[in-house]
Amino acid sequence: MIGTRGSPLALAQAYETRERLAKAFDLPFDAFEIVVIKTTGDKIIDRPLKEIGGKGLFTREIEDDMLSGKIDIAVHSMKDMPTLQPEGLVLETYLPREDVRDAFISPRASGLEELAPGTVVGTSSLRRKAQLKLRRPDLDVVEFRGNLQTRLKKLEEGVAEATFLAMAGLKRLKMDEVPKTAIEVETMLPAVAQGAIGIERRVEDSRAAEMLEAIHDGTTGQRLAAERAFLAALDGSCETPIAGLAVLEGGTLHLRGEVLRPDGSEAVDDALSCVIEDGAEAGREMAGKLLAQAGEGFFDWRG
């Protein structure tokens, strides 16, 4: 049984997982039951995540059901995942990564540069909010929670003039009709693990481990090892504006990272390259450098 959140994007990711497993083992789709689990993060959509507990709000109920044996594996958007899993669970299977870029969404503008001072932009991401305020402090940023469809509806209703979504989600849902402009990573570094799907299982479940090994994408795993080590060393959460991206070129891994003040008034960034096998160590090294540059009090919330 495959556990997942119930949003259209979460279900699309669960269907992709089911399809890959079915093809890998020549089984019918109905051999894998998809179980929808509503999480606290899905139930409370009128408050910022930092006020109600951070990233674990999208995984806790799903992981509880896995530990109790109600489901066998769980499918997650990796950018939502804490860097540590509960005792008894392991997260080591990743599907091929989609487009990592953010998308600028607006019915009337094709980019930030077209927005007039004072224009309202909605986002629930502290990273995006800080990056936006760093580049366009003259814009008015408002809280914009809910799944992809909910945020698009808010945009249609005029709650904001523009918002941001992940290109990966739009592509997985084949939402070509959405008025979007991809933002290159050189302009807006994405969230750690953005565009990646992870599959979690119980540590002792050898049957699930064997099946998941057949659909694991090693390249995505190598990239996420560096990015998530970077995030973990920064003690990253939904309360911390952090961006990071690893790319592979031959046998070399290139890692970029950025940390920002929550109000977008300042940012520090770095980049380094290493052999792929040293990716996790490189992530920790970069985190240490950025913490030293940032100094005490850098992440203090200012509103």
Q: Point out the residues that are catalytic.
A: 80
The tokens describing 57, both together, are: 């709000």
- From residue 187, alpha-carbon distances to 7, 27, 104, 134, 258 in Å are 29, 44, 12, 12, 12
Pairing between β-strand 140-142 and β-strand 120-122 as defined by DSSP bridges? parallel
User: What single-letter amino acid sits at 297?
Assistant: G
- Residue appearing with tokens 């790319």: 247
CA dist 297 and 303 (Å) reads 14
HEC letters along 200-244? EEECCCHHHHHHHHCCCCHHHHHHHHHHHHHHHHCCCCCCCCEEE
CA dist 247 and 256 (Å) reads 9
Rounded (10°) CA dihedral 85, 91, 97, 100: 10
> Three-state SS for 130?
helix
For residue 174, which of 8, 6, 4 has the smallest C-alpha distance?
A: 8
Distance of CA 298 to the CA centre of its chain: 23
The tokens describing 300, both together, are: 């203090």
User: What single-letter amino acid sits at 255?
Assistant: L
Q: For the chain, first and last CA: distance in Å?
A: 42
Q: Please enumerate in sequence order all residues whose Cβ is within 8 A of that of 93, keeping only pairs 6 or more positions apart, or say none.
A: 198, 199, 201, 212, 213, 215, 216
